[in-house]
Amino acid sequence: MNKNNSQTKLGKTQRVYVNRTLDFAKVQAIGYDMDHTLAIYNRETFEKLAFDETLKKLIAEGYPEELLEIKFDPSYVQRGLLVDKDRGNLIKVDCHKYVKLGYHGKRRLTKEERSKFYNNQNFKANEFISVDTFFALSEVQLFIEIIEYMSKKPASISKDFGTIYNDIKRNIDLSHKDNSIKDKVLANIDKYIIRDKHLATTLQRQLHAGKVIFLMTNSHWEYTNAVMSYILNDENEALSNWRDYFQYVIVGSGKPGFFTGSQPFFEVMTDTGLLKIHKGALNPEAVYHGGNANAFEKLASLRGDEILYIGDHIYGDIKSSKDLHGWRTGLIVDELEDELEKIADQAELKREINELLDKKEEKEETYQKLKSKTNFIENQMHKALRQDDKKKHDKLKTEYEKQSELANELFDIVYNLQKTIKEKVKKREFAIHPLWGETMYAGLERSRFADQVSNYSCIYMNKVANLRFYNQTKKFLAVKELMPHEF
């Protein structure tokens, strides 16, 4: 059985996708992030909680009570979007930094507005806030809803957009810190976290293949312990406690600071939650807090490229671990779970669009040729006039009119094709996501998010448990991309 066969036997949402060739046999250690990686959140209930808690705090600070009518919609915001907090806009950018789509509140920005604010400017993505994680979805929707409310009632809130965004951010961070969210999650964990029954098998296979498995999360000990217990305890007789799977457990890692900084490791007193500074090799029996990547590699005797780290956050988990330490990286793209199905439903439409694009290219080429021809005839006509050769001029004129008519017909055909393509692209995008279209595309171009996924992750998948379908010594081969001159 060759690799292609084994890959295509799996459903699209069961596969692991490869950007850079990764030899699993050479991976000594596999590290996992917890939230949205090992622990799959029910976005609808969890983000609603963050949304509602934050809204309550904003109203307590003096925001209008009417805002309580806003409802959380988990599908409103998409990962990879950028928030222009000063203008109150949410925008989608393609891989060439072209702003393809945008909304101010719930009003779609016009092409003129997009040009004026972004596409005619020197676009700098770092001036905006990037929606990198699911945790940001609720704060961004809240922002958009408040902007929409202000558009309808301009006198209702006398603050600028940037201040409003900062107020939301401060209150959402507070809701995470003061445990108003965590307490509710832990009191009713099955409502908020989805237990993947294949996760235990996946990790067990990696252990049997001799891999070192470690957990590295920004969540703190008490919450980590509760969530990990819920998703892994008693799933397997030999590994009845979640900690049996992990050689190292690092909580409160402060990523991306873990990869950029030099904070020391602390040992967590698991009964009291107190921390004590740690020195020397890491003890597999212990739980650590903080730390940094350089010390981790040294204390765990691992080289950067022997470590595969899997997380859901482009910057926190993937970019800095790869760029600064040469770790191999795996990204969880949970969106694919729903989207791949919708993309499959739209396959026929996609085929029609591609056919029309080919046809348009062909007609455009013929049109350009005809235009050159008519220009040439026109010049010849002028020349004949200058030479007083009326007969030649009239003959050329007849030919000119004939060719011009053909060119005009073709122009109309190209114009109509363009219009039909646009309509079909819009229809397809709407079917996949009514506001933003496909996560990995902005119109016909790759989205900025898709560009990040391919630049920073060696492999990506919609969930960790997809790894169970593959042999632990598998060489994941990247699809070779051709340069334009190689086609």
Least Å distance, CB 35 to Mg ion, is: 4
10 Å CB burial of residue 406 (0-12, 13-18, 19+) is: middle
Least Å distance, CB 475 to Mg ion, is: 27
Residues 312-371 that bind Mg ion (CB under 5 A): 312
Question: In what helix (H) or strand (E) does residue 103 lie, and over which residues does it extend?
Answer: strand 99-104
Of the pair 35, 52, the CB lying nearest Mg ion is at 35
Of the pair 32, 296, the CB lying nearest Mg ion is at 32
Of the pair 215, 343, the CB lying nearest Mg ion is at 215
Of the pair 45, 380, the CB lying nearest Mg ion is at 45
Distance (Å, whole) CA 208 – CA 199: 14
What is the full DSSP assignment across 433-486? -TTT--TTEETTEEBHHHHHHHHH-SEEES-GGGGGGS-TT-EEPPPPPPPGGG
Name the one range near Mg ion by CB under 5 A: 33-41, 111-119, 224-232, 290-298. 33-41
Distance (Å, whole) CA 58 – CA 55: 5
Q: Which member of 36, 43, 104, 325 binds Mg ion (CB under 5 A)?
A: 36
Number of residues that bind Mg ion (CB under 5 A): 4
Residues 216-245 that bind Mg ion (CB under 5 A): none
- Using the rule CB under 5 A, is 132 a contact of Mg ion? no
Q: Which member of 33, 52, 339, 438 binds Mg ion (CB under 5 A)?
A: 33
| Residue least distant from Mg ion (Cβ) | 35
Distance (Å, whole) CA 449 – CA 363: 33
Residue position matching structure tokens 């600070």: 61
Residue position matching structure tokens 């393809």: 100
Among 436, 260, 247, 404, smallest CA distance to 339 is for: 436
Active site residues per annotation: 33, 35
Least Å distance, CB 407 to Mg ion, is: 57
- Using the rule CB under 5 A, is 47 a contact of Mg ion? no
Of the pair 100, 313, the CB lying nearest Mg ion is at 313
Count of other CB atoms within 10 angstroms of residue 272:
8
Residue position matching structure tokens 């604010």: 117
Distance (Å, whole) CA 359 – CA 193: 49
Residues 293-312 that bind Mg ion (CB under 5 A): 312
Q: Which member of 35, 47, 52, 94 binds Mg ion (CB under 5 A)?
A: 35
Residues that bind Mg ion (CB under 5 A): 33, 35-36, 312
